[in-house]
Amino acid sequence: MRIYESIHALLICWDKSIDEFKNQRDSLGKVLRDFYGFNISPLNIPLSENADQWVRTEISNFMRDPDKKQNLLIIYYGGHATLQREKLFLQWSVFHSIRVSYAPSQISRADTTRHSSFDKPEDPCLNWSLCQESLVTGAKADILIILDCCHAGAAFQLEQGQQDNAVELLPACGIEDRAFVGEHSLTNRLIRILKSPTLYQKAFPTYELQRQLAYLQKSLGIVHLIDGKSNPWGRSAHLITLIPRYDGKGISIHRVVLPDSDDEEEQTPANREPDLPHRESGYQLQRDASLSYTDAGTNTEVDITQITDPILGTALFLDPRRKVVYVDVGTETIPVNTVRPDHKPVVLQQQQQQQQQEQQQQRRPLIKNDCVPRTSSPILSADLDITSNFPHKRRMHESVEARQTGLWMDRYSSFLHEWSPDKDGEAYKIAILSTGLNMEDLYIGGQRRRIVDRRNFVGTESEILPSTDSTPDRDSIGTSHFSLLAQTSKYTNFFISKISESGIFTDISVVVRAIACAIDEWKVNMLVLPFGLNTYNQELADQLSRALQANIICLAATGNSGANARAAYPARMPGVVAVFSSDSLGNPSLFNPSPSPAQRNFSTIGEDIAISHNGEEQYRSGTSFATCVMAGILSSMFVFARDYLELDLEDWNLLHTPAGAHKFLEIMSTSRGGYDYVAPWLLLSDDLTFKQQDGSQSSYKMVVKAQILAALRQLR
């Protein structure tokens, strides 16, 4: 993304134009100046016959000093416009625009005054096409043109030359369309979006600005149908690249910080929270005390604050005496636990290195030898769990992390309770392939009504198990997987496939038959695969391809060997959602495989998961558990979209596809340490989720639905 030394904006309106246009122009200039630090130059076009030449001269004067390669120029116009001979003319009054739009095409603009149907005097106007051509030709700086007027799309007709700068156009509507007016105008929507901290606190490309404009337009109920008959007004703004840069980089927008300024300490509208309506306070995080992390990519420290959840009234932070530092080692990050020396003199570098070496020697191995696969046989991901292959009781010094995980689960339960549909729709069907299920487990007994069918595929034939039968689950792996999936999903029925007696299996035909049953007989909506193979298998690939073609969502664990192995198969198969693990704050787990640059690397909580086993609480970690949590999140959000947001059939059928599932997770995620951390409340926590005055949930419903539909448009 390109960062500019300075950004200059020329904001154009007609002199003596109506107050609405001037007020919009002034408000936009205030936002660009106060929030972003741009240099603002207002320009009022005089009501004269030589307006064309006057504007070209003023534009030339405006560009004289800032027209440099390292700068960005923004040219804005707000007002009326007309279309003549397929050229865009800026117009002082709307009267002439309407008359000319109905004039015969063979009558020129000059002849209309002599035509019997156009005998009124012409209003002042100027040929914007000529002004734009003089603006772009020979320019060195990048240029963004914003036209909030009717027929603004006609400005795209520009002959491209050999230039090193980028020129982009953001028109309010198409060539034959009329622009929105009033509160729905392009300018007012820009003002609303540009004031969002989500944007002004970081650099963002112009295509992101256009995407947020589309979100807001849909959230306000401004929808232009394809035939254009039900809405005669303009379509949403589309970003047009008039001249691309030679290096392919587009235009970006960011705050301009003056050299040697104390930007962090000075409180200005650009660095403090603006007075904007936000989402419900239940999902706001209060920041209290500082905790330090180091970014693995840049090796720069960022302050992470103590977090309190107002819903639960409890803290969501690690021990304040504990400092976690992520050190970049290739593609893996390794945490080093140290005690923060509060207000003590800085230790010399040699002493620090010696302390780190002593800590590394005292620290036990992160992964036991018996957790690393020695053969190429398929292995359940749960068998690679960090520190132990079996459930282990929580030690005293690990209680903080376990408590954070519990708070995450409490917040997730509160989220489901608040945002679940009021009516019971069709149950979502999930098949999970693991080591079976112990029906005598106290928690499992309360979930029997949700278990539709259970099969034991171990052996030559699949065995249908009665609902009362308790097939031994020797290591409690499958029971743990199911209990976690049942806790995190709602309105879901389950189909249980036993594919192994323990965490290790060698007969891949067992898995193939289980997947075939889920596709052909059970006709499930989702396949949960909390296991991984070390190598590619053609039979498994064929069955999973059938599932993906049937729009069955497939999620698979990536493994727990860290950077010592690639992501397991089938997690790395195209179309399958590869699931990585994180802690309760979204930081990637140590045992994650390295992220793949060729695909999204979705992660969610998979550390210190509390599992109830015969009434006893035990804790486990691993990507297999993160896979079950991710399946619960995704299935619940699918039901949320289908029944609560009431998506129509066409949109639902597109959302519930492998590609749609990836897009859905994408808008529920945020980047963290090279992975895409997923939490369902991130779908509602965007600062562009504007709350209506009545404060009702229908406001959120409208905006969230718009976010989903905007993501789906990328797949059409």
- Summarised one tens digit per residue, pLDDT across range 469-519 is 545 677 788 888 998 999 999 889 999 999 988 777 778 999 999 999 999
pLDDT in tens, 209-255: 887 887 777 666 544 333 333 343 445 557 777 777 666 678 989 88
pLDDT at position 396 is 36
Q: How confident is the model at residue 368 (pLDDT cuts 50, 70, 90)?
A: very low
Residue 365 lies in a domain: no
DSSP 167: E
pLDDT in tens, 413-454: 888 877 776 556 789 999 999 988 888 776 777 788 899 999
pLDDT at position 357 is 57
pLDDT in tens, 264-314: 333 444 444 444 343 333 333 333 333 333 333 333 333 333 444 444 444
Q: How confident is the model at residue 615 (pLDDT cuts 50, 70, 90)?
A: low
pLDDT at position 695 is 47
Q: Which amino acid makes up residue 593? A: P
Q: How confident is the model at residue 598 (pLDDT cuts 50, 70, 90)?
A: confident
- Asked if the model's pLDDT at residue 330 lies above 60, the reply is no
- Asked if the model's pLDDT at residue 525 lies above 50, the reply is yes
Question: Which of 582 and 449 is assigned the larger pLDDT?
Answer: 582
Residue 1 lies in a domain: no
Q: Average pLDDT, stretch 79-95?
A: 81
Give the dihedral sign, CA 458/463/464/469: negative
Q: Which amino acid makes up residue 218? A: K
Residue 73 backbone zone (phi > 0: left; psi -120 to 50: alpha; other: beta): beta
Q: Lowest mean pLDDT of 77-81, 175-179, 564-568, name the range.
A: 175-179
Residue 59 lies in a domain: yes
CA distance 250 to 142: 9
CATH of the domain at 465: 3.40.50.200
* Residues linked to residue 604 through DSSP beta bridges, in sequence order: 581
Q: Of the candidates 253, 278, 308, which is a domain's last residue?
A: 253
Residue 647 lies in a domain: yes
CATH of the domain at 25: 3.40.50.1460
CA distance 614 to 593: 32
Strand boundaries in 36-163, DSSP class E? 39-45, 71-78, 80-84, 87-91, 125-127, 142-148
Residue 540 lies in a domain: yes
Provide the residue count of the chain: 716
pLDDT in tens, 117-157: 333 335 678 889 888 888 888 889 999 999 999 888 888 76
Q: What is the mean pLDDT of the chain?
A: 74
Residue whose C-alpha is closest to residue 17's, from 65, 73, 77: 77
pLDDT at position 136 is 87
Residue 438 lies in a domain: yes
CA 254 to chain centre: 19
Residue whose C-alpha is closest to residue 486's, from 612, 619, 646, 642: 612
Q: How confident is the model at residue 560 (pLDDT cuts 50, 70, 90)?
A: very high
Q: Of the candidates 219, 235, 253, which is a domain's last residue?
A: 253
Residue 489 lies in a domain: yes
- Asked if the model's pLDDT at residue 343 lies above 70, the reply is no
Q: Average pLDDT, stretch 370-399?
A: 38
Residue 272 has phi, psi (to 5 degrees) of -115, 160
CA distance 435 to 626: 17
Place of tokens 């970081």: 202
In angstroms, the Cα distances linking 44 to 12, 51, 58 are: 6, 11, 10
Q: Average pLDDT, stretch 545-567?
A: 95
pLDDT in tens, 151-209: 888 887 665 555 678 899 999 888 878 888 888 889 999 998 898 877 777 788 888 88
Q: How confident is the model at residue 372 (pLDDT cuts 50, 70, 90)?
A: very low
Contact 692, 699 (CB under 8 A): yes
Residue 234 has phi, psi (to 5 degrees) of -65, 160
CA distance 73 to 378: 58
Q: Structural domain of residue 610, as residue ranges? A: 411-680
Q: Of the candidates 220, 253, 286, which is a domain's last residue?
A: 253
DSSP 520-563: HTS--SEEEE-EEBSS--HHHHHHHHHHHHTT-EEEEE--S-GG
CA distance 261 to 286: 28
CA distance 367 to 688: 43
Number of domains in the chain: 2
CA distance 522 to 524: 5
User: Which residues fall within 8 angstroms of residue 129, CB to CB, at 6 or more apart?
Assistant: 87, 88, 154, 155, 157
CA 705 to chain centre: 14
Question: Which of 617 and 683 is assigned the larger pLDDT?
Answer: 683
Residue 128 lies in a domain: yes
pLDDT at position 574 is 93
Residue 470 has phi, psi (to 5 degrees) of -110, 95
Residue whose C-alpha is closest to residue 129's, from 114, 111, 109: 109
Question: Which of 617 and 168 is assigned the larger pLDDT?
Answer: 168
